[in-house]
């Protein structure tokens, strides 16, 4: 029986192709993939399986990064084709996606479950079944159902950059833990890396100039 470390890892980030969508909240999966790619010096992206694919290693394990070029609603075409070609078990697939149900900047990792109205997840589940790993990045909810479409396809604001940039850096830094199948350790490391230092208790106020 093959060890998990002997099975390639696929990390698929979800988004829509094209420069007009590049900074959309819905494209945070693509952004995370690019950060992992640069931090861990993966090879160049090449078009395969109707997606952009890069090859490298994480924690000594062969790993692939995938950005589907099929648009969000048909993400399962690219992810499914890749998984079937390499005969990957679902435990070797991590899908990074935006999540309306998490507050902005919150991150969670889970295996399996429903799609919560996310069309990219629905497409992948239709192609492969539900039991792949999901890295959920919160983008917050706009408050009203009618505003959801504009929210997810709207660009991150300048204020969002305050949490988004550190979070993407932390995801890339902690990425090797995903290759070690240590999802809890991954979340803990991201949490530590993004925690803002608390003001020391009992620190006396700075004296006023006189």
Between helix 28-39 and helix 161-179 the angle, nearest 10°, is 60
> In this model, does residue 197 exceed pLDDT 80?
no
CA distance 103 to 119: 19
| CA-only gyration radius of the chain, Å | 18
Could you report the per-residue pLDDT of 44-57, keeping only the tens digit for each? 999 999 999 999 99
Could you report the per-residue pLDDT of 178-188, keeping only the tens digit for each? 999 999 999 99
- Tell me what the pLDDT averaged over the chain comes to: 91
Catalogue all structural domains in the chain, each as residue range(s) with its CATH number.
Answer: 4-194 (3.40.50.1470)
Q: Which of 70, 175, 186, 180 is nearest to 124 (CA)?
A: 70
133, β-bridge pairs: 94, 111
Could you report the per-residue pLDDT of 89-143, keeping only the tens digit for each? 999 999 999 999 999 999 999 999 998 889 999 999 999 999 999 999 999 988 8
- Note if 26 is an active site residue: yes
> In this model, does residue 69 exceed pLDDT 80?
yes
Pairing mode, strands 133-138 and 61-68: unpaired
Active-site option among 26, 37, 118, 151? 26
DSSP secondary structure letters along 164-200? HHHHHHHHHHHHHHHHTT-HHHHHHHHHHHHPPPPPP
Cβ atoms of 96 and 33 within 8 Å: the answer is: yes
């Amino acid at each position: 029986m093959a060890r998990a470390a002997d099975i390639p890892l696929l990390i698929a980030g979800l988004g829509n192709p094209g420069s007009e969508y590049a900074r959309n909240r819905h494209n945070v999966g693509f952004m995370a993939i690019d950060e992992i790619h640069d931090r861990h010096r993966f090879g160049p992206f090449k078009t395969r399986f109707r997606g952009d694919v890069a090859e490298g290693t994480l924690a000594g394990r062969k790993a692939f990064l995938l950005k589907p070029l099929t648009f969000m609603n048909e993400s399962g075409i690219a992810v499914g084709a890749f998984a079937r070609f390499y005969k990957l078990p679902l435990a070797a697939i991590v899908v990074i996606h935006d999540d309306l149900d998490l507050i902005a900047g919150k991150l969670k990792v889970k295996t399996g479950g429903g799609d919560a109205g996310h069309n990219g997840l629905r497409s992948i589940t239709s192609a492969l079944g539900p039991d792949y790993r999901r890295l959920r990045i919160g983008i917050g909810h706009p408050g009203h159902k009618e505003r959801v479409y504009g929210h997810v396809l709207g660009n991150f604001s300048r204020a969002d950059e305050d949490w988004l940039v550190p979070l993407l850096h932390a995801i890339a830094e902690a990425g090797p833990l995903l290759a070690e199948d240590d999802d809890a350790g991954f979340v803990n490391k991201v949490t530590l890396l993004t925690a803002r230092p608390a003001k020391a208790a009992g620190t006396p106020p700075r004296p006023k100039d006189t």
